[in-house]
Structure 1
Amino acid sequence: MFSFFQLFAMINDKVPSVNSVAHFFQKRKKPLTKRILYSTKRFVYRGIKMSQQVVIEREKKPFIKRRWVKLLMVLAGVLVFLSLIGAGTGYWYITKSLPVLEGEKQMEGLTNEVTVVRDARGVAKITADNLEDLFYIQGYVTAQDRLFQMDMTRRLAGGRLSEVVGSAALDSDRFYRTYGMHRYTNDMIELFDEETKQVVDAFSAGVTAYIIEAFKEGNEPLEFKILGYEPEPWTAEDSAIVVKYMGYTLTGNHRNELENYQLVQALGEDAQYLFPEYHIADHFPTIYEQIDIEDLPFDSESLQSLISFAPSEFNGSNNWAIGGEFTESGFPIVANDPHLGLAIPSVWYQTHLELEGDFHSVGVTVPGVPGVVLGHNENLAWGVTSMSVDQEDLFLEQAHPEEPHLYLYDGEWEEAEVIEEVIEIDGEDPYTETVEVTRNGPVMTSLFSEENAEVSFHADSDAPYQAISLRWTGREAGEELNGVLKLSRSTDVYEFMEGLDGFVTPALSWVFADRKGNIAYRGQARLPDRQNSVGLLPVPGWDPDYQWNGFIETEELPQIINPENGYVMTANNKPVDDEYQYEIGRSFYPYRAERIEGMIADRIKSGEAFTADQSKEMQVDFLNTQARALVPLLMDEVEKSEGELSELEKEALALLGDWDFVESTDSAGTLLWHQWYNLFSERMFEDIVSFPYSSALVIHNTIVEASEDPEGRMFGFLDEQWQRDFTEFSRETFVEAAGMAEALQGSDPDSWAWGEWHQMTIRHPLSSVQPLNYLFDLGSWEVGGSGATPGAHSYDEETGRVNHGGGWRFVADLAFDEPAQDIVMPGQSGQVMSPHYDDQIEAWVDGELLPMRYDMGPEDGVNVKTFVPVREE
């Protein structure tokens, strides 16, 4: 899953530092006379009006009063302020937003007393005697710790960042307004059962209560002071769009389809032989066979602009459940570590809820979503990975040559729905994005136009098609929020399985176990039943033969209870065998699963019992099975011309030959391998396509096939113009990779170290505006592993900066003789001056987990606060 913080950081990369004031004057535009941050939102919760004044009148002011220049002035003022009155008062100013964690507080909206006990990590256990009070305070407490993150998430997903950060976010807003998650939140809300409606309304009211209180008293989080705006009330639509956005971050198949489309542009039908695992001649869309390659519209640059908003390919996870017959305690063990963007604050928020006489669960949620999404109760434990299935399809559209908004389907012209999306921009006039929605979904190629999208962009009318639309199952109404309570209340795997019914997105592989000894797996998502397509390429939207034939029924989704082997595990690998009747995707990733399954099977074979500590060690295992498979094949080719190597290159080759494929921070072989693999992968396709094609399985299969080719050819199945000499290519890339390692760390290969280059640097969304980085950012840490190891730490190939990994790790032995354990990186709070901003990071880097105090009472807590109804005078 990719974090919105990384996209926001990219937006901020376009914003100049404090030293670049002149930039703003060069970009000067007429300021708005009235700025509408959002429409007025009012609702009544338990008789209390939850509302704010949301229309802000502005007089015309000189440009110097605009947002970012104002920011510079604020920062300068803070520096002067600190120098004049001393650090103590300055410290008070920037810490006054921190919540008061002890004592008693009267609150409107409560009917009875609620107790909040915080542990040493700042995790709040909330205990209440009724559902609405429980979730009211969960909303309030979550906002205390993560309000800025929550507001940025809903703004990003709803295409509303420009309202607060200006036109630097316009491209992002145009994409998300076109994609249209915000247009489908009400459909989810309409499916709320009565209890879910109470939960979401109470949670929303709690968040809003904090917003009103904090801004009234001047105690808002520092980010809001810097950006100078007040967020609107939280609503059910906001929680719904957070769910939809999380689904989007684990989708992203349009990236693969657009990259494959470009391969077809270059290679024609022969491109099918590159696709992983399968040759798809029987399903190669006839549109590509019937036209000349030169006739394909949309150039690579335009397609890459659309691909740039696709979720990260590194989003993934590990999980497993091991049956009690193989554990020391005799009860199942469940482990989970979702791999998402690593940033400040974490994607995950630790939460602990007890409704007296009903349910008691602890784990994590996504800020903005009520309940416990992952974790355990007194009966079960559960975790998820990305199912890595294909929930998106691109459709080629034939537009009417003269009449706007008409698209061909089955020989008839159909009128697309036209939606005018008005994007408010801080300091500038609004921008209107005209979105066309065909029967297949929104037309995404309008985003190729650099002009105002009120004029829809199409390819030349002589082309075989003029636009591309996108269909996503996540636009279907789902019951994810109905299911959260059901999961927390489940007493065994059978009830838990029923609680997953109705989940549409994200597409997740759920692993769970109960204290009765059952273990189970369920792949849950709304998945299309495709016709005449395997989802690898855009298909003709005008042809009924390529329409979805509904969706795969819930009972036909991959699932199992108590498998014969005694364990279940997933790590973004293919969840079905080749006999499965539906086409659900081609983007599975086998390497981590291969290693995890090997560790589990080897331990079972040895007869040594599993423990929670052993699962903890598996989560940070750094053996790379991808390298173990490919290094010998590539080294064989280099050794054929070893006499042409320099002494340093020979030493490097010997070093790689001695490597055990464990990617520890002090490993020299790991550094050399990743330089080589990255270069090899980049160069493989550079003559074929103009972008870095990066499918791991395509690369793997190409290397294996080349090593087996009797003529030593790479791409031996393509025309001669695309073929390469495998031995020569392997040697050339190895020599260059050894030179890159030397440039990074010197001429002594024995001194090379993976961790010296492969480091995790944690950054805040605002830190690209200096000097805010000194306030918000944390340091750098050497970490082992890569995207191919169970201890997954994916990285930027140019800088080595680690940007993805298991931001939450969790292990539970259902004997519960000892508490379950978890950890969130970097900490629980998003407030920079909180002691819990980064207090878990060192333990996380060391591979440790910390106890989850399930039975913690007021006497055990570090801080105890009681919330009570307002007393009558």
Structure 2
Amino acid sequence: MSRGIKALLIILGVVGVLALIITGVWLWFTRQAHPKTEGEIRLAGLLEPVEIVRDVNGVAHIYANNTEDLFFAEGYTHAQERFWQMEFQRRTAAGRLSELFGETTLETDRYLRHFGFRQSSEGAYALLDAETKKAIDAYARGVNAYIADRRPAQLGLEFAILGLQGTEWEIEPWTPIDSLSWGYMMIFDQGGSPSEDMSIANMIGALGSERFNDLFPAFRDNRPTIIESSELGYLGQSDTTPLSRLNDAELSYLLDLSRAVAAGAGDLPPLLAQTMTPYGAGSNSYAISGERTATGGAILANDPHMGVMMPALWYQVGMHCRTKSDACPYEFRGYSLPGVPGILIGHNDRIAWGLTNAAFDAEDVFIERINPDNPNQYEVNGEWVDMEIRREEIAVQGWDKPDVIFVRQTRNGVVASDSLVNASRFGADDEGTQPYALTYAWTGLEPVQTVRAVQLIIRSQNWDDFLAAAEFFEAGKQNLLYADVDGNIGYVMPGKVPVRAGGDGTIPVPGWNDEFIWTGFIPYEDAPRVFNPAQGFIVTANNPQVRAEDYPHFLGLSQDRGQRAQRITELILADTDLINLQDVQAIQTDNGSISALEVIPYLRQLTIDDPAVAAARDRLVGWSGQMHRDSAEAALYNIFWVRLINNTYNDELLPDYYPDGKDNTADSMYHILQDPQIGWWDDVRTADITETRDDILLRSLTEAHAEGITTLGEDMDAWKWGDLHTITFRNATLGSSGIGFIENIFNRGPLPTSGSESVPQKTCWNANNGFAVTCIPAMRQIIDLGNLDNSLMIHSVGQSGHPMHPHYDDLIETWRNLQYNPSNWSREAAEGGEHELLVLEPSGG
């Protein structure tokens, strides 16, 4: 062998060895945080052995002899799989992200410090009952048992990568306050932001009441409410005065005053905008009584529509006392929030429950008169009163000194114009002599007992237990749906809903007197509720709870316009046979658009000269309205829908007020389509032409056909809605790093996706921002109360938060293909397929 060949072989061998070493180092680096899920681990703090069975999908089923060990093991399991997510969440809630990320997240920290989630959580902890406190304390001990002897890089790949960039920190012990603080963040996520009232005020001021009502029409009489009025016979008539009943002088005064304080409404800080549930998201839940099902048992379905996240918001878990008793009263299965003990949605051995956003108005913006000689005083009924002031120090990586802010609070709420909305710290009247500030009133600004409610629901055994537990659900704005093994179904809307002295909270109002202040909350005994309604089912899809005229209290104007609720109701009623699980699956994953089928008939009478455009019209006229990802017609319709919105409204509106194409836009279009000459049809940019409805419909269809050819190709048969409507599961921190290699590690997608706005299988998108998916049914459950082993569950990505783990993304295709996994309620089912068993043993220490 020649000397050259020998040298080449040596070089190749060295390169091969180096490649193996690099591969080994990479595998170690990216997998060092993967947890042990089989075998035995001895831990201090346990009282007795605990078994954790992870089924084929990575779902943990925990078996323990006592309450403390059960929740200890849940905390341990959450930390194993999702500790980076938990760390990021607790720092977000506490306004402490800048300690890690520097000035980049300072705006977010300043914003969140105003809400005082940590302080409120400390107050909420003091209100917990003994059993709930036992659970949350044990959960924290379990988290700490896992993280105590591990370096940050051993807890998550995100820690390791940030460490390479020079970020250093010590992992602090987990506390019950950390869990409660994230609970507050979820409550905040489901609420309204301080800028919403300002946005409405600005829109009314810019458009006038008549045109504003065109864009945001009243709830239609033919759409279903959650509770039929026939079930509310014991209640009186509404005596509230909503915004629409303010006289012109009152409305003009309030709008002028709002503009004096702030020129516009602000957005959330960018990080929160990326990680929180987007505006216009929603949820569905429905319960069908045993009288209408094939098995005679009730069925409950739920699919909350949340922001697109990686890892998932949810962590599935089953938790079982080996022998259920007063000393260990738990046996449940469902969806937990990493960082919080128990489950939020799911079932126990007797009842099942689901949640959807109730969208009632629990937030107001007040305009405060400020003392010109003392900016920390405000007027109350002619007297200057001192504000409460809280000093907040925010540590910022790379800064020698902390950032300091002062959070001011009046009797009405936290001063929002300091940081929460896009406004000067002080506005002024026309003469420039009277300063004003905005305050934000919200029921979540004080200690609430929502976490206690959740723990009580988990332990509930019947409707009376459930109803009593729900009374503690003081903040979070949720519809609570119920079903039980005896075939019963029920619904209640808990929460602190303000009773106002005047107005309805839709736009900012004066706070310097008592004309608009909160005088209390709707009594819980008056909360909308129903048990075993005559129709045999209950549907909630963010639609109004009741018809306003049939209920004595004002709940708000922001509920969904009811397209999803109508479609689900129609599908239930259309099933003339007894309903089974397969029927409910078809309903839950239905992509049928009522809104599209209300628009398309107006295309029939169009005179179209272009044969290709006429053929495209004919395809739409014959289309079912199903927004499936493989549908050419769905692609065409949604391109047309965006063009129709642009051509109808946007020539007369400022960009800030362009309709977004969601449920309000669909109902607005429904109404104006009925008048072919209404002013909206005229394009103000064409001075010599007065367009009619048919002109705009034809223009929009022609443009949509041309855009489809440009984007999707000449052959319409090859068009697919999913080629436009894609989803990217993006990591909340490193998924938008701008470094492609890093993003590819943590993100998944883009992937074609079925669904659309205002369909049961809702996938959000915004007509002003393209067709990319911004919210999804983040989990789906179908609970068979006749046989819990038949129940079905799925969430969107995977159980693990570790990017290289097999269970990081293994649920995506099942979820995307509208399929389900068995819940594996019984231990036999959990261990029936491929599974892992981890035994936690007391160490005796």
- The TM-score range, normalised by the shorter chain, is 0.7 to 0.9
Instruction: Give, as a single letter, the amino acid of the residue that structure 1 aligns with 2:585.
Output: K
* Distance in 1 between residues matched to 2:782 and 2:476, nearest whole Å: 22
The verdict on how the C-alpha distance between 1:842 and 1:163 changes in structure 2, with shifts beyond 3 A counting, is same
The verdict on how the C-alpha distance between 1:327 and 1:382 changes in structure 2, with shifts beyond 3 A counting, is same
The verdict on how the C-alpha distance between 1:473 and 1:271 changes in structure 2, with shifts beyond 3 A counting, is farther
Partner of 1:838: 809
Q: Would you say the 8 A contact 2:490–2:531 is kept in 1?
A: yes
Instruction: Give, as a single letter, the amino acid of the residue that structure 2 aligns with 1:162.
Output: S
Secondary structure in 1 aligned to 2:81?
Answer: helix
* Distance in 1 between residues matched to 2:803 and 2:277, nearest whole Å: 27
* Distance in 1 between residues matched to 2:187 and 2:772, nearest whole Å: 26
- How far the C-alpha of 1:564 sits from its partner, in A, is 0.6
The verdict on how the C-alpha distance between 1:458 and 1:724 changes in structure 2, with shifts beyond 3 A counting, is farther
Deviation sequence 1:342-383 (CA, Å, 0-9, x none): 221111111111123222101111111101221111111111
Q: Percent identity?
A: 30
* Distance in 2 between residues matched to 1:269 and 1:133, nearest whole Å: 59
Secondary structure in 2 aligned to 1:779?
Answer: strand
* Distance in 2 between residues matched to 1:318 and 1:747, nearest whole Å: 38
Aligned pair partner of 1:597 in 569, 572, 577:
569
Secondary structure in 2 aligned to 1:227?
Answer: helix
- How far the C-alpha of 1:647 sits from its partner, in A, is 4.5
The verdict on how the C-alpha distance between 1:123 and 1:448 changes in structure 2, with shifts beyond 3 A counting, is closer
Partner of 2:160: 225
- Segments of structure 1 that go 5 or more residues without pairing to the other structure are 1-78
Partner of 2:730: 763
Partner of 2:233: none
Q: Would you say the 8 A contact 2:303–2:781 is kept in 1?
A: yes
Deviation larger for 776-785 or 161-170: 776-785
Partner of 1:264: 204
Secondary structure in 1 aligned to 2:735?
Answer: coil
Secondary structure in 2 aligned to 1:760?
Answer: strand
Deviation sequence 1:65-104 (CA, Å, 0-9, x none): xxxxxxxxxxxxxx99984713134213321211111222
Deviation sequence 1:484-527 (CA, Å, 0-9, x none): 33222222222112111111121111111111121111112211
Instruction: Give, as a single letter, the amino acid of the residue that structure 2 aligns with 1:260.
Output: I
Secondary structure in 1 aligned to 2:827?
Answer: coil
The verdict on how the C-alpha distance between 1:179 and 1:352 changes in structure 2, with shifts beyond 3 A counting, is same
* Distance in 2 between residues matched to 1:514 and 1:99, nearest whole Å: 37
Q: Would you say the 8 A contact 2:591–2:628 is kept in 1?
A: yes
Write out aligned runs for 1:795-814 (5 A).
795=765, 797=767, 798-814=769-785
User: Is 1:146 equivalent to 2:114 in the alignment?
Assistant: no
- How far the C-alpha of 1:146 sits from its partner, in A, is 0.8
Partner of 1:870: 843
Partner of 1:557: 527
The verdict on how the C-alpha distance between 1:254 and 1:834 changes in structure 2, with shifts beyond 3 A counting, is same
Partner of 1:76: none
* Distance in 2 between residues matched to 1:448 and 1:376, nearest whole Å: 38
Deviation larger for 776-785 or 742-751: 742-751
Deviation sequence 1:789-847 (CA, Å, 0-9, x none): 11111135434222311111111111217431101210111011221111111111111
Deviation sequence 1:319-364 (CA, Å, 0-9, x none): 1111111111111111111111122111111111112322210111
The verdict on how the C-alpha distance between 1:315 and 1:252 changes in structure 2, with shifts beyond 3 A counting, is same
Secondary structure in 2 aligned to 1:362?
Answer: strand
Partner of 1:749: 716
Partner of 1:39: none
Write out aligned runs for 1:720-759 (5 A).
726-759=693-726
* Distance in 2 between residues matched to 1:82 and 1:474, nearest whole Å: 57
Aligned pair partner of 1:691 in 656, 665, 669:
656
* Distance in 2 between residues matched to 1:434 and 1:80, nearest whole Å: 60
Q: Would you say the 8 A contact 1:420–1:432 is kept in 2?
A: yes
Secondary structure in 2 aligned to 1:520?
Answer: strand
Q: Would you say the 8 A contact 1:389–1:507 is kept in 2?
A: yes
Instruction: Give, as a single letter, the amino acid of the residue that structure 2 aligns with 1:587.
Output: S
Partner of 2:756: 786
Partner of 2:11: none
Deviation larger for 107-116 or 665-674: 665-674
Partner of 1:331: 297
The verdict on how the C-alpha distance between 1:725 and 1:303 changes in structure 2, with shifts beyond 3 A counting, is farther
The verdict on how the C-alpha distance between 1:576 and 1:652 changes in structure 2, with shifts beyond 3 A counting, is same
User: Is 1:623 equivalent to 2:605 in the alignment?
Assistant: no
User: Is 1:245 equivalent to 2:185 in the alignment?
Assistant: yes
Partner of 2:447: 477
- How far the C-alpha of 1:680 sits from its partner, in A, is 3.7
Write out aligned runs for 1:316-715 (5 A).
316-355=282-321, 356-357=323-324, 358-428=329-399, 429-447=401-419, 456-459=425-428, 462=431, 466-578=436-548, 579-589=550-560, 590-603=562-575, 606=576, 608-633=577-602, 635=603, 640=606, 642-643=608-609, 646-682=610-646, 684-685=649-650, 687-694=652-659, 696=662, 698-709=664-675, 711-714=677-680
Secondary structure in 2 aligned to 1:427?
Answer: coil
- How far the C-alpha of 1:697 sits from its partner, in A, is 5.1
- How far the C-alpha of 1:318 sits from its partner, in A, is 0.9
User: Is 1:105 equivalent to 2:71 in the alignment?
Assistant: no
* Distance in 1 between residues matched to 2:419 and 2:827, nearest whole Å: 52
- How far the C-alpha of 1:535 sits from its partner, in A, is 2.7
Instruction: Give, as a single letter, the amino acid of the residue that structure 1 aligns with 2:147.
Output: I
Secondary structure in 1 aligned to 2:374?
Answer: coil
Deviation larger for 744-753 or 104-113: 744-753
Deviation larger for 798-807 or 504-513: 798-807
The verdict on how the C-alpha distance between 1:276 and 1:422 changes in structure 2, with shifts beyond 3 A counting, is farther
Q: How large is the RMSD of aligned CA atoms in angstroms?
A: 3.0
- How far the C-alpha of 1:169 sits from its partner, in A, is 1.3
Secondary structure in 2 aligned to 1:524?
Answer: coil
Deviation larger for 415-424 or 784-793: 415-424
* Distance in 2 between residues matched to 1:577 and 1:378, nearest whole Å: 35
Q: Would you say the 8 A contact 1:648–1:747 is kept in 2?
A: no
User: Is 1:303 equivalent to 2:244 in the alignment?
Assistant: no
Aligned pair partner of 1:187 in 103, 112, 123:
123
Secondary structure in 1 aligned to 2:177?
Answer: helix
Deviation sequence 1:597-651 (CA, Å, 0-9, x none): 1001111xx2x11111221121110000111123334x36xx55634xx454333
The verdict on how the C-alpha distance between 1:194 and 1:292 changes in structure 2, with shifts beyond 3 A counting, is closer
Deviation sequence 1:256-285 (CA, Å, 0-9, x none): 422211113313454663443188442369
- How far the C-alpha of 1:595 sits from its partner, in A, is 0.5
TM-score by length of 2: 0.86
Q: Would you say the 8 A contact 1:519–1:567 is kept in 2?
A: yes
Q: Would you say the 8 A contact 2:202–2:264 is kept in 1?
A: no
Partner of 2:27: 91
- How far the C-alpha of 1:201 sits from its partner, in A, is 1.2
The verdict on how the C-alpha distance between 1:567 and 1:462 changes in structure 2, with shifts beyond 3 A counting, is same
Partner of 1:16: none
Q: Would you say the 8 A contact 1:651–1:749 is kept in 2?
A: no
TM-score by length of 1: 0.83
Instruction: Give, as a single letter, the amino acid of the residue that structure 2 aligns with 1:863.
Output: E
* Distance in 2 between residues matched to 1:187 and 1:666, nearest whole Å: 52
Task: Extract structure 1 runs of 4+ deviating beyond 6 A.
Answer: 79-82, 305-308
* Distance in 2 between residues matched to 1:611 and 1:592, nearest whole Å: 21
The verdict on how the C-alpha distance between 1:729 and 1:173 changes in structure 2, with shifts beyond 3 A counting, is farther
The verdict on how the C-alpha distance between 1:665 and 1:370 changes in structure 2, with shifts beyond 3 A counting, is same
The verdict on how the C-alpha distance between 1:693 and 1:528 changes in structure 2, with shifts beyond 3 A counting, is farther
The verdict on how the C-alpha distance between 1:177 and 1:812 changes in structure 2, with shifts beyond 3 A counting, is same
Alignment coverage as a number of residue pairs: 779
The verdict on how the C-alpha distance between 1:84 and 1:679 changes in structure 2, with shifts beyond 3 A counting, is same
